C-alpha cells in the first residue's frame, strides 16, 4: 500500500488540520508521493499569493519531502481510458484531475483527497479522505 497525496490534502496539512496531520503521522512509514500536477498547483498558488517567497519555499520543501511522480506513457494511456469512460457517461472532470487519478491508477496508489465525490466517479480508483475523523 502507498499513497498519492492530492493538493487539497497538502493544503489542509499546512493549515494544521488535526485529522490530516494525525493521519500523516499514523502513516509515516507508508510511502507517499505527489503528482507533478499537484506540485504545479502548489507552485502556482505560491506565486499568486501575497507571501510569494515564503510559500514558494514551502512548495520546494514539499517537493523534497514527497517524491514527485511525472507524467509518463502509462499515465497518459490510463488518462485516455478514464476520459473516454467519463465522457460516455456524461461525467466531465477537469483534465488535470484526470491525470492525477490516472497517476494513482497507473502506479497502484490510493489517492488521498478531500474531493471524494469528484474523484469517486472514476472506476477502480481507491480513495481516502483524511480530513474526516472516520477515515
Instruction: With CA atoms as reference, report the closest residue to 67 among 109, 19, 97.
Output: 109
CB contact at 8 A, 74 and 106: yes
At residue 134, does pLDDT exceed 80?
Answer: no
pTM: 0.94
Grid cell 490516472 in the structure block, residue: 102
**Beta strand extents in 9-133 (DSSP E only):** 32-35, 68-69, 110-112, 127-128
Query: What's the CA gap between 25 and 118, in Å, rounded?
Result: 26
Domain residue limits, the chain: 3-128
Q: How many residues does the chain have?
A: 135
Which of 89, 99, 90 lies closest to 41, judged by CA?
99
Based on C-alpha coordinates, what's the Rg of the chain? 15
Which one, of 39, 59, 48, lies nearest residue 103 by Cα? 39
Please write the tens of the pLDDT for every residue from 101-125. Answer: 999 999 999 999 999 989 999 999 9
| CA distance to 43, 44, 85, per residue, from 90 (Å) | 32, 30, 9
pLDDT digits (tens, 9 = 90+) for 6-39: 999 999 999 999 999 999 999 999 999 999 999 9
Query: Are 108 and 75 within 8 A, CB to CB?
Result: no
Residue 132 has pLDDT above 90, yes or no: no
CATH number, domain 3-128: 3.40.50.1010
- pLDDT surpasses 60 at 63: yes
Amino acid at each position: 500500500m502507498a499513497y498519492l497525496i492530492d493538493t487539497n490534502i497538502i493544503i489542509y496539512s499546512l493549515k494544521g488540520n488535526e485529522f490530516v496531520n494525525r493521519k500523516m503521522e499514523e502513516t509515516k512509514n507508508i510511502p507517499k508521493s505527489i503528482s507533478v500536477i499537484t506540485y504545479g498547483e502548489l507552485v502556482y498558488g505560491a506565486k499568486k499569493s501575497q507571501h510569494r517567497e515564503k510559500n514558494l519555499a514551502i512548495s520546494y520543501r514539499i517537493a523534497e519531502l514527497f517524491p514527485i511522480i511525472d507524467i509518463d506513457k502509462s499515465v497518459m494511456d490510463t488518462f485516455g481510458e478514464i476520459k473516454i469512460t467519463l465522457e460516455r457517461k456524461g461525467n466531465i472532470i477537469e483534465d488535470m484531475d484526470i491525470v492525477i487519478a490516472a497517476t494513482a491508477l497507473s502506479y497502484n496508489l490510493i489517492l488521498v483527497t478531500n474531493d471524494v465525490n469528484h474523484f469517486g466517479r472514476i472506476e477502480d480508483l481507491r480513495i481516502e479522505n483524511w480530513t474526516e475523523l472516520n477515515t
